[in-house]
Chains A and B, each alone.
Chain A
Amino acid sequence: MVDGTLGAVGAVPPAEVEDMELYHPKSWVTRYVFCQDAKVISIQYSLTALSIGLVALVLSWLMRLQLGFPSVFSFIDANAYYQFITMHGMIMVIYLLTAILLGGFGNYLIPLMVGARDMVFPYVNMLSYWVYLLAVLVLVASFFVPGGATGAGWTLYPPQAILSGTPGRDWGIILMLASLIIFIVGFTMGGLNYVVTVLQARTRGMTLMRMPLTVWGIFTASVMALLAFPALFVGAVMMLFDRVLGTSFFMPALVEMGQQLQYGGGSPILFQHLFWFFGHPEVYIVALPAFGIVSDLISTHARRNIFGYRMMVWAIVAIGALSFVVWAHHMYVSGMNPYFGFFFATTTLIIAIPTAIKVYNWVLTLWLGDIHLTVPMLFALGFIVTFISGGLTGLFLGNAVVDVPLSDTMFVVAHFHMVMGVAPILVIFGAIYHWYPKVTGRMLNEALGQLHFWITFLGAYAIFFPMHYLGLVGVPRRYHELGEAAFNTPSVGTLNAFITIVALIVGAAQLVFLFNLAWSLVRGKEAGGNPWKATTLEWQTPETPPAHGNWGKELPVVYRWAYDYSVPGAEEDFVPQNQPVVARAGAREGAPA
């Protein structure tokens, strides 16, 4: 073990950056629109992602209306229902969660947290946003083309995705695939920035093991996304060929409406492999940044160093690596060799180990902490609870034998909404409440934040907990109408109506959040530079909101890790990362091993 303590402070040379290196906006347009400053790009990403996310929220309302009150709303026919399902899933997973966690939080937090002036390739970074926006616009356009958006389900499984029985078969699916391809190109531009900035642009003293876990999470997720998205790219290109040019990559020989189609010999399973090779890492691409952010929220608001920092880092890396060898657990029912199923069930369950380590460490960080129940902390706590309950049902589904009867029921819907929908969204809300003061210089309103949290948190449970029961009694997912079936008992109908009403309320409650965002921008309490008394570098900027270039003339020097809270003998209960050695009483104790 290298003992790197207490080097002479004066030995660090000042690191001034000449003006040449910085990009300087020359006009209003290059300052706010075509801007190369990562902070502006972050806001652009976040606002775009939240806007398209609202569209997906409304789509989920429409679906719930049909499920809760079948046949009441005549405009939601089976085709429309499938279109809503598909677009809701695709938007939420890719265009909201991936975009806001990596493009939004990544752009804002990486340069500030590692002490850089900006991303390493600012021009490419700017392009990344505009390409993302184009992808979103192409996606939105698919609502308005003849035949409407695709209704193939968010997994876009062939052959049904491009057969004439599926809504949106004419143009919707083409625009969907094109939008995905554009998104992946745009993401690759951004992802290169996130990864290389962490590798190259850390300020002096910022070793990898001094990085906040937020940066670790976003960094690892970006690496994973760079390696996983190409699989979706390949799948999308090949399916586009099948649809537009008549190739048979995925399309088997088919008879449609009594007519032999020109396709033949293709393999739908091949698409499933490609899709899930992307699709499972995608779960962790969303989860790892959330893990990182929540670690920092908990540590800051419990005024306690994160328990087992090293384990947290190792767990992030281990989850990132393992998530590439579990993809076929989404395909247990595709008729695969049982030995494959055994292999993938094993790897799937092994992932539970590093994940459980993280959960224990969060709980142990809270243990005896000085917990401040601020709004970000409430969301962080809500995340832990939700992630545990969502993760435990994952253990059910990870077992091939248990999965077979539960596959394609509402149980699956409940599982992934808890673990991949609600949990990361809670983190995103918490993170917005946490960093909004840095972005705008003003606090979000506390009372409105509490209201928003309680409705969202309790509402999410009221929505998704009963769905587990629906799944266990056999209610299938993706059904427009349940009809006469043994599982369609009166209690199922009542429960569905209940879920719908709660979903409407929770969705509407998000308006409180939007109002808070807008109102606090003007009327919020002045935040000052470091309202949460946090240690990480983004709170130590000379100006709030940080000016272009983030730091003054000199880059900060880092002297310590990111979690020096409640250090015995220190003057305050936090020691910023860029503060030189402090006098303190006695040796430090109680640091976790």
Chain B
Amino acid sequence: MSATVLFLAVIAIVVAWWLSQQRLTAKPWLEEGPVAHLPGQAEPALPAAKVGLVVFLAVVGILFALFTSAYLMRMHMGDWRPLPDPRVLWLNTGVLVVSSYALHRARAAAAGGDIGAVKTGLLAGGASALLFLAGQLWAWQQLAAGGYFLASNPANAFFYLITGVHGLHLAGGLVALGRTTAKAWRGGRAEEVLLSVELCATYWHFLLGVWLVLFALLLAT
């Protein structure tokens, strides 16, 4: 469970830092009045959706940390037979980087008010994400063709499970991305879609980061 505990420690540090900003040593029974000048009393600096996404990413993060922990514990059992890493995974990784970069550009364009570039970025990001998913399916295909079935070895099972869960998260993101793209297409102005584009971009970068860690794990073992 070391990977999980490590991830939890990171969350704990963030939470501790946040709590340290919250005047937890205040003596509320002595403080009467509207306290409009105290920290945390201005309008929230971030929109609720952004905070919601960050919390959600923490949940997704611990989910993958737990899968990683299970992977690391299970691989020390005697029956573990590492499977070959399909070459196409390298290509897929590149495609996912492109996807993330396209959304990064879309976010910059939305901030700059250029709706045309936003549309291009969203389309490029969505298309490359779909390509990534197709590539992952192709990798499964190759493994299955090589006789590496789900149930034949725990290493295979973990491979299919972890890549599958990651792919499902990306597919869920594609729904949100599709709605954002539709909004941009229906004539939304750049500042109207800015928040949605930002959320999508953040989610994409996070899933890219998760994939890089998972890919490194698969390559290293």
Contacts and interface: CB of A to CB of B under 8 A. Distances in A.
Nearest to A265: B79
B44 A200 contact: yes
Interface string A179-199: 000000000100010011001
Nearest to A320: B15
A207 B73 contact: no
B182 to A, nearest CB: 17
Given A208-B23, A591-B29, A7 B37 contact: yes
B29 A561 contact: yes
A231 B11 CA distance: 16
Contact of A324 (B8, B66, B73): B8
Given A209-B24, A264-B79, A559-B34, A231 B66 contact: yes
A305 interface: yes
A557 interface: yes
A247 B150 contact: yes
A231 B69 CA distance: 10
A234 B31 contact: no
Contacts of B220: none
B31 A247 contact: no
A4 B38 contact: yes
B151 A227 contact: no
A314 to B, nearest CB: 7
Given A7-B35, A207-B38, A208-B23, A196 B48 contact: yes
A249 B23 contact: no
A262 B35 CA distance: 67
Contacts of B12: 321
B88 to A, nearest CB: 23
Contacts of A121: 48-49, 52
B52 A192 contact: yes
A247 B149 CA distance: 10
Nearest to B76: A267
Given A5-B32, A195-B55, A201-B48, A247 B1 contact: no
A210 interface: yes
Interface string B29-53: 1111111111011001010110110
A270 interface: yes
B19 interface: yes
B213 interface: no
A581 B58 contact: no
Interface in B147-168: 150-151, 154, 157-158, 161, 165
Nearest to A3: B31
Contact of A274 (B41, B46, B70): B70
Given A200-B44, A274-B66, A207 B23 contact: yes
A246 B33 CA distance: 64
A364 B146 CA distance: 70
Contact of B34 (A3, A11, A267): A11
B63 A309 contact: no
B35 A205 contact: yes
A551 interface: no
B142 interface: no
A247 B37 contact: no
Interface stretch (A237-245, A379-387, A398-406, A415-423): A237-245
A588 B62 contact: no
A558 B40 CA distance: 14
Contacts of B93: none
Given A204-B34, A208-B22, A247-B151, A199 B51 contact: yes
Contacts, number: 184
Contact of A209 (B26, B46, B62, B150): B26
A321 B12 CA distance: 8
Contacts of B157: 241, 245, 247-249
A234 B151 contact: no
A226 interface: yes
Nearest to B7: A227
A234 B48 CA distance: 28
Given A196-B55, A237-B161, A266 B41 contact: no
B169 interface: no
Interface string B57-101: 011001100110110011001111000000000000000000000
Given A2-B26, A208-B40, A270-B70, A581 B33 contact: yes
A72 interface: no
Q: Residue among A1, A233, A247 with the most chain B CB within 10 A? A: A247
A207 B37 contact: no
Given A207-B28, A231-B66, A248-B157, A559 B33 contact: yes
B32 A581 contact: yes
B52 A5 contact: no
A513 interface: no
A12 interface: yes
A227 B11 contact: yes
Given A227-B8, A227-B62, A1 B27 contact: yes
A7 B38 CA distance: 11
A120 interface: yes
B4 interface: yes
Nearest to A582: B32
A540 to B, nearest CB: 16
B19 A234 contact: no
Given A265-B154, A563-B29, A2 B23 contact: yes
A173 interface: no
A249 B151 contact: no
B36 A12 contact: yes
Interface in A207-255: 207-210, 223, 226-227, 230-231, 233-234, 237-238, 241, 245-249
Interface in A271-321: 273-274, 277, 305, 309-310, 313-314, 317, 321
A480 interface: no
Contacts of B38: 2, 4, 207
A131 to B, nearest CB: 14
A6 interface: yes
14 contacts: A2-B26, A6-B32, A6-B33, A196-B52, A204-B36, A207-B40, A208-B24, A209-B28, A231-B62, A247-B154, A248-B151, A273-B69, A273-B73, A563-B29
Q: Which 3 A-B pairs have the closest CB atoms?
A: A265-B79, A561-B28, A246-B151
Given A196-B51, A560-B31, A560-B32, 18 more contacts: A4-B35, A12-B34, A188-B56, A192-B56, A192-B59, A195-B55, A200-B44, A200-B51, A204-B34, A230-B62, A231-B62, A238-B70, A238-B161, A241-B161, A247-B154, A249-B157, A310-B27, A592-B29
